[in-house]
Amino acid sequence: RKEVEQDPGPFNVPEGATVAFNCTYSNSASQSFFWYRQDCRKEPKLLMSVYSSGNEDGRFTAQLNRASQYISLLIRDSKLSDSATYLCVVTLIRGANNLFFGTGTRLTVIP
């Protein structure tokens, strides 16, 4: 079983739409959770960390449900520049570099 499972999409949404991604993780001992963004043929970059209390950064909101072992990312008012692959990431040890990445969910925002 994969450590992190994501719906690969693709999600094609119009500008201004709200879109939500979910992922599940298998190890209940997982400590830290992140969403990374990867543009086509580029390296992954941290979008935001995910906390149990939920956190928001502008149009982006991330939630963690430890009981159900799932993580979500909500993007409001989608922009063309949001088109990318969104990678769900967990690690077993806080601050460790052994990150488990999901397959990624591809988002295309359409004009």
Partner 1 sequence: DAGVTQSPTHLIKTRGQHVTLRCSPISGHKSVSWYQQVLGQGPQFIFQYYEKEERGRGNFPDRFSARQFPNYSSELNVNALLLGDSALYLCASSLLTGKDTGELFFGEGSRLTVL
Residue 41 structure tokens: 């043929």
Give the residue from 94, 77, 109 showing the smallest Cα distance to 34: 94
| Contact pick of 100, 107, 109, 111 for partner 1 (by CB under 8 A) | 100
Out of 28, 53, 94, 111, which residue is the one contacting partner 1 (CB under 8 A)? 94
What does the per-residue mask of binding to partner 1 show for 54-83, with x meaning CB under 8 A? ------------------------------
Phi-psi region of 31 (alpha: psi -120 to 50; beta: other; left: phi over 0): alpha
Residue choice 19, 87, 107, 109 for contact with partner 1 (CB under 8 A) = 87
Per DSSP, the three-state class of 80 is helix
Which member of 24, 49, 61, 108 binds partner 1 (CB under 8 A)?
49
Nearer to partner 1, 68 or 97 (CB): 97
- Give min distance, CB of 44 to partner 1, in A: 5
- Distance between alpha carbon 85 and the CA centroid of its chain, in Å? 9
* Dihedral sign, Cα of residue 54, residue 65, residue 105, residue 42: positive
Question: Does 103 sit near partner 1 (CB under 8 A)?
Answer: yes
